[in-house]
Structure 1
């Protein structure tokens, strides 16, 4: 198989357009079209549906896209494996929930950087569902997500367990039951966030329909909005402690099986274990042992 044609196919599939792919590759549009046609002829199948609005991947095209991602990952992995030595170097891309990144990772990453300065650390924050997908698609070396995670292609390492609390502005009366919040506006992350999933499952099991739900993609925006009285949210205690101590937020603890959430570090079982990733996992395991 022509790897150049496969890479062009991959970019066309991801951009959804031959013209966009041609601009990204700095190729003539006709060259891109010819490469796709050549690949389809070699594989004896149609990879795209052509229509007035452009192109859409066929079922076989979807299959080839998945395989192409694995093929190019293996090529990159082979190069990394051959270059890898006892001195950690290269890029280490780690994903994390924003709350974990803000509270628990600065010290960990600082220590890692001091011990392994030749490693280029990249930290990407996102909701649990997105982080899991990025690890599965080989876009991240590992990620901190809400657990437990039960997936045949992933390994998980326990990291921390956090208590979730309902937070409101300081003028809000005491909340003694989850039913007390059904008339309030709930401030949440987009779908795929573990905290939102827990809150919605909790409300569903209690037969409660929230008055209004507002989505935010920043924990800072959620906290600022709660402080101003816009609504309430469900967040980890360590994230809101300083605001409570400063007198700008109020916590409401409610006894429930939903409020204790483990955070785990995940990575692929078939992932090439570079020295950079091995040292990160070693440091993480050491931190857990010393923290017991």
Structure 2
């Protein structure tokens, strides 16, 4: 059963005879007759009583009541297939570290949906370790994050640098100090991101170079929450330069060698996508939003 056979059946109902239906559809009457015979063969019942008039059988009356819905469903499925073929319909699964969720990704998605209004997007937030695992498990198409330690399974395209930043309560003694060294930090308890955060690993590497250690090294998985934990305390928070601060805390300048972390597009190697052109469009918009050359 195909669409032409169903349209022929519906047109006979509307016009009342095979001949007028053939005339309306610009077919020979034999073509209409053949289409109805094929339709009857496909569904296994006779639809019209044989004769000059287009008189329906009982089975024909059942089909007549549903033919409009069947044709509409056929058209809907056809449009869906065309949309998929043209990469207009589908879903993208995107991951991002916390710092790009306030502006970069929301702005990019608004611009993307202006071009692809029927595409849906699923967003996951986490650190680089978490997002890279989701990519390997085929739960993300790509992510904006740092470069994983084991990059053999990925293609990483650097886009910008995030600077490691230190924050303290505004009444903290370090606020009065000039030329703060990393060793000065070690006299206070430190709060940083989770153990799998890239900047936590950077901090751990720095700590390994000193015999002294902070009294406590606490971790908070959500970096944006760290300023709330250090207010009204003597703790030092380790965040990123893009982290929004609350009025009670301020940044302090700490001497560090190369305090930068690369952030970029992380994609799996050798994986095909049903929405490849939409994926590339969104990535190009993200590049523009960040200000990186293509």
- TM-score normalised over the length of structure 1: 0.63
Q: Establish whether residue 283 from structure 1 lines up as the match of residue 261 from structure 2.
A: no
Match of 2:144 in 1: 144
Match of 1:226 in 2: 230
Shift in Å, 1:257: 2.5
User: What root-mean-square deviation, in Å, do the aligned CA atoms of Structure 1 and Structure 2 show?
Assistant: 2.6
Q: Distance in 2 between matches of 1:198 and 1:89?
A: 41
SS of alignment partner, residue 211 of structure 2: coil
Check the 8 A contact 1:89/1:118 in 2, yes or no.
Answer: yes
Check the 8 A contact 2:109/2:282 in 1, yes or no.
Answer: no
Match of 2:164 in 1: 164
Shift in Å, 1:92: 1.0
SS of alignment partner, residue 205 of structure 1: coil
SS of alignment partner, residue 278 of structure 2: helix
Shift in Å, 1:255: 3.1
Match of 1:236 in 2: 240
Q: Establish whether residue 186 from structure 1 lines up as the match of residue 186 from structure 2.
A: no
Can you give the 5+ residue segments of structure 2 that lack an aligned partner in the other structure? 1-80
Check the 8 A contact 2:188/2:234 in 1, yes or no.
Answer: no
Check the 8 A contact 2:194/2:219 in 1, yes or no.
Answer: yes
Check the 8 A contact 1:147/1:263 in 2, yes or no.
Answer: yes
Check the 8 A contact 2:193/2:220 in 1, yes or no.
Answer: yes
Q: 1:230 to 1:271 in 2, by over 3 A?
A: farther
Q: Distance in 2 between matches of 1:208 and 1:158?
A: 34
Q: Distance in 2 between matches of 1:103 and 1:235?
A: 18
Check the 8 A contact 1:148/1:262 in 2, yes or no.
Answer: no
Shift in Å, 1:282: 2.4
Shift in Å, 1:164: 1.5
Match of 1:200 in 2: 204
Q: Distance in 1 between matches of 2:183 and 2:170?
A: 19
Match of 1:217 in 2: 221
Q: Establish whether residue 251 from structure 1 lines up as the match of residue 255 from structure 2.
A: no
Q: 1:283 to 1:191 in 2, by over 3 A?
A: same
Q: Distance in 1 between matches of 2:234 and 2:264?
A: 32
Can you give the 5+ residue segments of structure 1 that lack an aligned partner in the other structure? 1-80
Match of 2:121 in 1: 121
Task: Give a deviation string over 1:20-55, Cα, whole Å, max 9, x none.
Answer: xxxxxxxxxxxxxxxxxxxxxxxxxxxxxxxxxxxx
Give structure 1 regions of 4+ aligned residues with deviation exceeding 6 angstroms.
none
Q: Distance in 2 between matches of 1:289 and 1:188?
A: 28
Q: Distance in 2 between matches of 1:289 and 1:116?
A: 22
Task: Give a deviation string over 1:197-244, Cα, whole Å, max 9, x none.
Answer: 11111121233312102222223321211233262222121213x54x
SS of alignment partner, residue 239 of structure 2: strand
Match of 2:61 in 1: none
Q: 1:231 to 1:109 in 2, by over 3 A?
A: farther
Match of 1:60 in 2: none
SS of alignment partner, residue 151 of structure 1: coil
Q: Establish whether residue 98 from structure 1 lines up as the match of residue 98 from structure 2.
A: yes
Q: Distance in 2 between matches of 1:277 and 1:248?
A: 41
